[in-house]
Amino acid sequence: MAMKIRLARGGSKKRPFYSVVAADSRMPRDGRFIEKLGTYNPLLPKDSEERVKLDLDKIKAWMDKGAQPTDRVSRMLEAAGVLPKKTRANNKKGIPGEAARKRAEEKAAKAAAPAPAAEEAPAEAAEPASE
């Protein structure tokens, strides 16, 4: 049986509240779970102690039994100091998409072509006025 430590969503519409649970990976997200291990309330401020509550002893016991935390739960455990910090790299995150690159090239081409003509015209108009 593949065990996961994951978030189960609760709360009402547009007011999420999550329970950190140990569950079989084949069960639905909000379905049957084996044990509740903590809570997570994303609506609270990030510096609030009530935002993330974890029973670290139970979590360590489940991990010793082979339960794997999901990515979001592993980030919470890294912040709590249970797991070592992983280096995550999304190298393509900062690269704009194809459509954005085309728009930027077109904008640069438009800015480069009419800019010299626009600079010359005001300079000529300014000279006769100053004489």
pLDDT for the residue numbered 96: 84
Mean predicted lDDT score pLDDT of the chain: 85
Segment 15-25, tens digit of pLDDT: 999 999 999 99
Residues 58 and 120 in one domain: no
Do 53 and 117 have their domain in common?
A: no
Q: Is the residue at 67 inside a domain?
A: yes
Q: Is residue 102 very low, low, confident or very high in pLDDT (cuts 50, 70, 90)?
A: very high
Cβ neighbors of 62 (< 8 A, separation 6 or more) are 3, 5, 22, 35, 37
Q: Which pLDDT value is given to residue 93?
A: 78
Same structural domain, 24 and 57? yes
**Tens-digit pLDDT profile for residues 37-94:** 999 999 999 899 999 999 999 999 999 999 999 999 999 999 998 889 888 777 777 7
* Count of domains for the chain: 2
pLDDT at 91: 77
Domain that holds residue 70: 3-80
Whether residue 53 sits in one domain with residue 111: no
